[in-house]
């Protein structure tokens, strides 16, 4: 087909769709909904992924985490063999530092057993995360302070009542004042605020500006794990260990040395697997990708059903159009129009219809994405590839579901077509 015939066929297809606006709108509605849903969902996933990656980078992506189980395993799904794994101690931390030259620092990390209430003169900081650690926490996590200082080794050693707050916690208690040197109460116990973390934002649903950090020894003193408590804690009361390598280049070596040290301390023979895990921030990213991948697959299935319904609607509309325009087809054939010209006209109509639906769907999805971000401040990002893919996939749907009606039109007998009433 030469350029002139293509332009003529394209114009005829466009005029035919415009002449039946309501029918065309109803036919592309399913395409619009399907593509709009996919674009909106992908923008959310992309937004969260970009935000998550930026958060990991801002948190310092060289941290080495030492845990009994890998992140993502929930309490109800944990086998008994994992529940009975031996918890870590500060002796483990000291042994790692002594026997692992590639490890620069190691910090304990533990949540309190008791529920925590932080207050000051009637003001309460709600929904915060309170944890205990040591003087190396800033080093192991790449944190900085906005003001004040962190607690020292001496303060950790004497169980000092000192605390470092996140930005949101400090504002909830002190407003615009710095709060440095002021007294707050944690479950009624007086603590002195000595510092404030640099703002970190949110990651995986947690607000890292709504925190309160104290020496882990102080946490053990005031919030000890009760003797009658069960031996398994996903969070509360358990001691975690976080390490950092001497340099990013030695991170893998540091992991290997940590594993070797812990295997020796736990008397694990060479034929037995580790009863602990050592991982970096990449594990959190893999977990996030697995979660969002499952959500994406579910939404893609739902959207595919919508596109399938839309495609069937397009095919039905095109079959009706072929029937209504039988005499027109007969006239064109009588005037010498070849089969491929008739085929191209109806196929182009179908593709124009679905591509237009895809374009409108992209606009709908982008609008939904913008509205979600404006209403909830959830991160969203509409990528170029998702826009192009949405429109191209819609066009493919048009080709697939429009081929049969177009072929039927092309194969009509011109004599029978001219006699059609």
* pLDDT higher than threshold 80 for residue 297: no
What pLDDT digit, counting tens, does each position of 97-137 carry?
A: 999 999 999 999 988 877 788 999 889 887 788 999 999 99
Percent of the chain surpassing pLDDT 70: 81
For residue 145, what pLDDT is reported?
94
For residue 72, what pLDDT is reported?
61
- Regarding predicted confidence, which is higher, 379 or 245? 245
* pLDDT higher than threshold 70 for residue 15: no
What pLDDT digit, counting tens, does each position of 197-234 carry?
A: 998 876 655 778 889 999 999 998 998 876 665 555 54
Read off the pLDDT of each residue in 20-48 and give the average, rounded to a whole number.
75
Read off the pLDDT of each residue in 281-300 and give the average, rounded to a whole number.
72
For residue 407, what pLDDT is reported?
83
For residue 416, what pLDDT is reported?
62
Is the pTM of the predicted complex or chain greater than 0.85? no
Longest Cα–Cα distance of the chain, Å, equals 103
- Regarding predicted confidence, which is higher, 304 or 416? 304
CB 217 within 8 Å of CB 162: no
């Amino acid at each position: 087909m030469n350029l002139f015939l293509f332009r003529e066929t394209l114009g005829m297809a466009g005029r035919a769709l415009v002449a039946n606006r309501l029918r065309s709108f109803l036919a592309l509605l399913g395409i619009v909904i399907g593509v709009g849903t996919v674009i909106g969902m992908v923008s959310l996933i992309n937004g969260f992924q970009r935000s998550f990656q930026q958060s990991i980078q801002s948190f310092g992506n060289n941290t080495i985490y030492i845990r009994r189980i890998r992140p993502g395993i929930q309490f109800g799904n944990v086998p008994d063999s994992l529940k009975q794994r031996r918890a870590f101690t500060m002796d483990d931390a000291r042994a790692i530092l002594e026997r692992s030259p590639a490890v620069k620092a190691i910090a304990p990390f533990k949540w309190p057993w008791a529920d925590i209430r932080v207050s000051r003169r009637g003001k309460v900081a709600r929904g915060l995360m309170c944890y205990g650690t040591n003087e190396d926490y800033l080093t192991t996590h790449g944190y900085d302070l906005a003001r004040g200082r962190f607690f020292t080794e001496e303060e950790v050693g004497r169980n000092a009542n000192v605390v470092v707050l996140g930005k949101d916690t400090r504002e909830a208690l002190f407003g615009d004042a710095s709060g440095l040197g002021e007294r707050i109460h944690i479950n009624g116990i007086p603590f002195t605020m000595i510092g404030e973390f640099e703002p970190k934002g949110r990651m995986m649903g947690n607000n890292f500006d709504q925190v309160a950090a104290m020496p882990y020894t102080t946490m053990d003193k005031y919030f000890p794990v009760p003797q009658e408590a069960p031996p398994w804690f996903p969070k509360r009361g358990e001691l975690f260990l976080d390490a950092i390598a001497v340099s990013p280049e030695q991170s893998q070596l540091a992991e290997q040395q940590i594993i070797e040290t812990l295997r020796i301390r736990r008397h694990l023979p060479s034929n037995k697997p580790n009863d602990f895990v050592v991982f970096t921030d990449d594990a959190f990213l893999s977990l996030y990708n697995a979660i969002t991948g499952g959500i994406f697959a579910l939404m893609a299935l739902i959207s595919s059903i919508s596109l399938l319904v839309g495609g069937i609607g397009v095919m039905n509309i095109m079959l009706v159009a072929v029937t209504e325009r039988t005499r027109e087809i007969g006239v064109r054939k009588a005037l010498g129009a070849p089969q491929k010209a008739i085929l191209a006209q109806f196929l182009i109509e179908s593709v124009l219809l679905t591509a237009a639906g895809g374009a409108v769907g992209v606009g709908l999805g982008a609008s939904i994405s913008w509205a979600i971000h404006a209403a909830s401040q959830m991160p969203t990002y509409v990528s170029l590839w998702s826009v192009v893919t949405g429109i191209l996939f819609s066009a493919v749907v048009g080709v697939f579901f429009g081929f049969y009606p177009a072929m039927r039109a092309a194969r009509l007998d011109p004599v029978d077509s001219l006699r059609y009433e």
